[in-house]
Structure 1
Amino acid sequence: MENKTNLEVALKAAVKAGEKILEIYNDPNSDFSVEKKADNSPLTIADKISHTTIQHFLSDTEFPVLSEEGRSIEYPERKDWQNFWIVDPLDGTKEFIKKNGEFTVNIALAKNGKPVLGVIYVPVSKTLYFGNIGLGAFICENVSGEITFDSVLRKSEKLPKPKTTEKYFVVGSRSHMSPETEEYIDALKQKHAEIDIISKGSSLKICMVAEGIADEYPRFGPTMEWDTAAGHAIANAAGKKLWLTDLSEELAYNKENLLNPYFIVK
């Protein structure tokens, strides 16, 4: 199992950052009509306070941080990083602005280009996903306040959950599917008698596969490394993979270009 201390730090950081985001999200004075990139928008304020909160926790570890808020770190500075955190302080911009609750805090620890530890916290539902290869993957409900690794683990459920139906579930958008995704799902329909589409926001799409609710998630659209790293680690701990679309290998991290290629989670 990955160092328990690192996992505990990531758990605490994600929950505390999520609580800070929730204060802004639930503040009756927050104006969600403000343009999303404006410095005084609720989204921007929440993003920055989450980033600062997570940095406070992770600064106690020995590893550098690659974050969406700190994306300006040049490749020559980070190319030799062997161990590093990958953070998305607030994943799910559209979901945050729509106020549908499907946004997350994502924290991963990567070693030699592979995410080995992942934590995803859903502030609105207070749901926590976490895992690494040695420990496994877990979901814990109603998580808030002061926590420890042991207190969370005691009330967690191991993932994936047993499959209870023959129906084949695919994560995607019901209304805005790309042509590549439509083509991919049409091919799946030739293999499976009944397919249903699950629509989710942010990194929760990967969590649906790790949890066993969905069978796969094809992503034929742009994502960045911080969008997928935490979910990737959790999926791996649940026995799933984030494959390149030709199924030859999994996604790699700390690339010179931080944009991910298209991928399939299954």
Structure 2
Amino acid sequence: MTINQFDSEIQAAIRAAIAATDEILDVYVNDFDTIIKSDGSPVTEADYRSSQIIEEFLAPTKIPIIGEEMKNRDFKERKDWHKCWVIDPVDGTREFVNRNDEFAINIALVVDEKPVFGLIASPVEHYMMFGGKEMGLFQAFYTNASPDIEEIDKGESESSDSIVVLTSRSHDSGMITDYLDNLESEYGELTYLRKGSALKFIDLVKQKAHSYPRFAPTMEWDIAAGQALLEAAGGTVLNAETGLPLTYNKPNLYNPFFVAENLPG
């Protein structure tokens, strides 16, 4: 399967991720400076270069963009958007700075506040997963602008014998004791896996892991692509308080606390 078999918006996202990979790795393999932003999070030249090139590739779609390294529009303008891209040019910058390879590129397409398409790419592995509920799930290892793409069979999984709970490598997930106690009472002893960035969602889709509870701050660009992928695989990303799916292009771009799951059965 080739990139040309997808519509122009999807092609733009795939090509953006491939081009951004080159920019990110060019910084990653050399010395670079780390700047601490006003919110305490780190940023490097890779974030800015990746953001710029993704914006350039998505510009022909004429769909507005929300992104981590952009000056985002006020909600009074955004509220009228039927569609928007939600991007994180380097998700897991702390992992990038620590050089542990656990960082990603996130690109999501949101329609009427719902993520209908997501793409998560691992620059180090030259691997991407993309798709959505309507189009299905796909993956590719890419070394050039024309990746060989294959569809993912939702029936395939790499599920382990026990329930695997993902936790962040760089962030404390907060008070989740009650949730974990309930999960353990239903499924038995839990296994824990620490992993950085949205790469956790790839593990959830493949059922290498089954649960990712997040009771700490995240932004829309951290989760939108992962939610689209996980929902396409039959999983969920639900508000921890309301039990409803997360929505996007909100007045406040912070996410509520959430639980992402792709449990057996």
- Per the normalisation by structure 2, the TM-score is 0.88
For residue 153 of structure 1, report the CA deviation from its aligned partner.
Answer: 2.4
Residue in 2 that maps onto 1:4? 7
Query: SS at the partner of 1:59?
Result: helix
Q: Does 1:180 align with 2:183?
A: no
Structure-to-structure mapping, 1:34-73, within 5 angstroms = 34-37=34-37, 43-73=43-73
Alignment partner of 1:258 is 2:253 = yes
Question: 1:59-114 deviations in whole A, cap 9, x for unaligned?
Answer: 11021111111243111111110011111111102101100011111111110000
Q: Deviating runs (4+, > 6 A) in structure 1?
A: none
Corresponding residue for 1:76?
76
Distance change >3 Å, CA 175–CA 224, structure 1 → 2: closer
Structure-2 change in CA distance of 1:210 and 1:87 (3 Å): same
Q: Distance in 2 between matches of 1:70 and 1:76?
A: 17
Report the alpha carbon displacement of residue 8 of structure 1 after superposing the two structures with TM: 1.2
In the alignment, which residue of structure 2 is the partner of 1:242? 237
Q: Provide, for residues 171-204 of structure 1, a one-character-per-residue CA deviation record: whole Å limited to 9, x for no partner.
A: 1148975442234223322222221011111111
What is residue 3 of structure 2 aligned with on the other side?
none
Q: Which deviations, in whole Å up to 9, do the C-alpha atoms of 1:195-252 show, x marking residues without a partner?
A: 1011111111222211211111111111000111111111111111111114631001
Alignment of 1:176-255 (within 5 A): 177-246=172-241, 248-255=243-250
Change in 2 beyond 3 A, CA 1:239/1:90: same
Structure 1 residues 35 and 196: alpha-carbon distance in aligned structure 2, compared to 1, 3 A threshold: same
- In the other structure, the counterpart of 1:135 is 135
C-alpha distance in 2, partners of 1:236/1:186? 25
Say if 2:95 and 2:103, in contact at 8 Å, map to a contact too. yes
Is the aligned partner of 1:23 residue 2:26? yes
In the alignment, structure 1 segments of 5+ residues that lack a partner are none
Q: Is the 8 A contact 1:220 1:263 kept in 2?
A: yes
Secondary structure class of the residue paired with 1:223 = coil
Q: Distance in 1 between matches of 2:168 and 2:16?
A: 30
Counterpart in the other structure of 2:149: 153
Q: Is the 8 A contact 2:174 2:214 kept in 1?
A: no
Please give the alpha-carbon distance, in whole angstroms, between the structure 1 residues aligned to 2:148 and 2:81.
Answer: 30
| TM score, norm. by length of structure 1 | 0.87
> How far apart, CA to CA, are the structure 1 residues paired with 2:57 and 2:111?
19
Query: RMSD across aligned C-alpha pairs, in angstroms?
Result: 2.2
Does the C-alpha gap of structure 1 residues 143 and 247 become closer, same or farther in structure 2, counting only changes over 3 Å?
farther
Distance 1:158 1:12, change over 3 A: farther
Structure with the higher fraction of residues in strand conformation: 2
Structure 1 pair 164–255 and aligned structure 2 pair: CA distance change class (3 A): closer
1:152 to 1:175, Cα distance in 2 relative to 1, 3 A: closer
The 1:84/1:175 distance shift into structure 2, 3 A limit, reads: closer
Given that 1:160 and 1:210 are in contact with CA atoms closer than 8 Å, whether structure 2 keeps it comes out as: no
Distance 2:28 2:173 in 1: 30
The separation in 2 between residues aligned to 1:176 and 1:106, in whole angstroms, is 18
Mapped contact 1:17–1:50 kept (Cα < 8 A)? yes
1:146 aligned partner, one-letter code: A
Change in Cα spacing, 1:175 to 1:114, as seen in structure 2 (3 Å) is closer
The structure-2 alpha-carbon separation of the partners of 1:174 and 1:72, relative to structure 1 and needing over 3 Å to count, comes to: closer
1:109 maps to what in 2?
Answer: 109
Q: Give the structure 2 partner of residue 14 of structure 1.
A: 17
8 Å contact kept, 1:83–1:112 = yes
